[in-house]
Amino acid sequence: MRSRVTLLFLVATLTALGGASARADKIVDPKTVAPEFREAAEKRRAEQVKLIECNNAAKVAKIQRRDLAQFVAECFDKPAEKP
């Protein structure tokens, strides 16, 4: 019984510690990527920035959690507004 509790505690601790760093992706910096992958890194960065903007727009609009995925997907699929 004690070994199961110890194992459960160990798994919970490792999950908590390992999960914290894996929750959010860092924004890609195209300058730190090899030249042959720079174009892909620039596209990924643009996607990440747009996704962050859509999530922020959802927060401002106070979208409920159940509708968040749909709101962000629709926002992400809209063409970029040009000033």
Question: For position 17, what pLDDT does the model report?
Answer: 52
Q: Render 8-74 in DSSP notation, one character per residue.
A: HHHHHHHHHHHHHHHSSPPPP-GGGS-GGGHHHHHHHHHHHHHHHHHHHHHHHTT--HHHHHHHHHH
Do the beta carbons of residue 71 and residue 61 sit within 8 Å?
yes
What confidence tier does 5 reach under pLDDT thresholds 50, 70, 90?
low
Please report where in the chains the tokens 């596209």 appear, as a residue: 43
Q: Is the pTM of this model over 0.85?
A: no
More confident residue, 25 or 70: 70
